[in-house]
Amino acid sequence: MRAIRLEDSVAAREDLPMPSLGPGEALVRLLQAGICTTDLELVRGYLPFRGTLGHEFVGVVVEAADAPAMVGKRVVGEINLACGDCFQCRCGRPNHCDRRQVLGIRGCDGAFADYLSLPLVNLHPVSDSIPDEAAVFNEPLAAALEILQQVAIHPDDRVLVVGAGRLGQLIARVLRLTGCDLSVVARHPRQRELLAMANVASIAEDAVAERRSDLVVEATGSPSGLALARRPVRPGRRHRA
């Protein structure tokens, strides 16, 4: 099959074997995959990964011996493959498994291929009402939604998001649903336009110190962004990097 591999450099291959399936796993035929900044950073040496890249995808199950009813279903997938036995897994935090493999990032071939394999527990059927072009954003949207699993946000909370890139835009749309007093630090006009389309207020970096906040979400991934995010946190309150 075909795949895009990170070896000594990025290489397009057409001679790879089909993925082999273990117990409880499914074979998925790729429909669409998204290129994440993490993929680009892996190419630059962010982690010592070697294998098939890609972790944002939507596909169709073509083989699932332990769940034949899943065959033919369009699916997206969670990217963390947990061990199920470590401290984090036993505490109900499999996404933070101490021994986890991560699709296309750590110890597991990813989605930039004709076919990929994942445990059935990682797969989620996609409604027919959601097109592939939207379903492929499931993974970054799930990252944004995880904030609400970690922190309770109330309508009377003042919340600031630092960073208005792709992930910051998704986070803003998720947090807006809580009814909180929300603003996003945005550098570029197009970022501010997208936020305005979602009815989210934007502010400039030099206004951050005046925006005292109960919760700050850092979405730039840079040291300078983290330093900026720490400034407006009210004493005794919280911040989330």
Distance CA 64, CA 66 (A): 6
Distance CA 71, CA 86 (A): 31
Q: Give the per-residue pLDDT at 207.
A: 86
Nearest-CA neighbor of 102 among 83, 88, 75, 125? 83
The three-class DSSP label of residue 74 is strand
The DSSP secondary structure of 173-213, one letter per residue, reads: HHHHTTT-EEEEE--SHHHHHHHHHTT-EEE-GGGGGG--B
CATH superfamily of domain region 3-136: Medium-chain alcohol dehydrogenases, catalytic domain (3.90.180.10)
Q: Do the Cβ atoms of 55 and 111 come closer than 8 Å? A: yes
- The Cα–Cα gap between 202 and 13 comes to 44
Contacts of 226 (CB under 8 A, 6+ apart): 218, 220, 241
Q: What is the pLDDT of residue 238?
A: 52
pLDDT-flagged residues of the chain (< 70): 235-241
Name residues whose C-beta falls within 8 Å of residue 20's C-beta, 6 or more positions apart in sequence: 117
Let me know if the fold of 3-136 is the same as that of 144-230: no
Reference 164, options 150, 184, 149, 148; nearest CA is: 184
pTM: 0.84
Report residue 30 as tokens. Answer: 């790729």
pLDDT in the model for residue 235: 67
- Residue 231 has a pLDDT of 82
For residues 34 and 207, give the distance between their C-alpha atoms in angstroms, rounded to a whole number: 34
| Structure token digits, residue 70 | 């899943």
pLDDT tens, position by position, 205-229: 888 877 889 999 999 888 888 888 8
d(CA 162, CA 180): 16
Using left for φ > 0, alpha for ψ between -120 and 50, and beta otherwise, residue 84 falls in left
CA–CA separation, 191 and 207 (whole Å): 17
Domain ranges of the chain: 3-136, 144-230
CATH superfamily, domain 144-230, is: NAD(P)-binding Rossmann-like Domain (3.40.50.720)
Q: Which two tokens stand for residue 184?
A: 């996003």
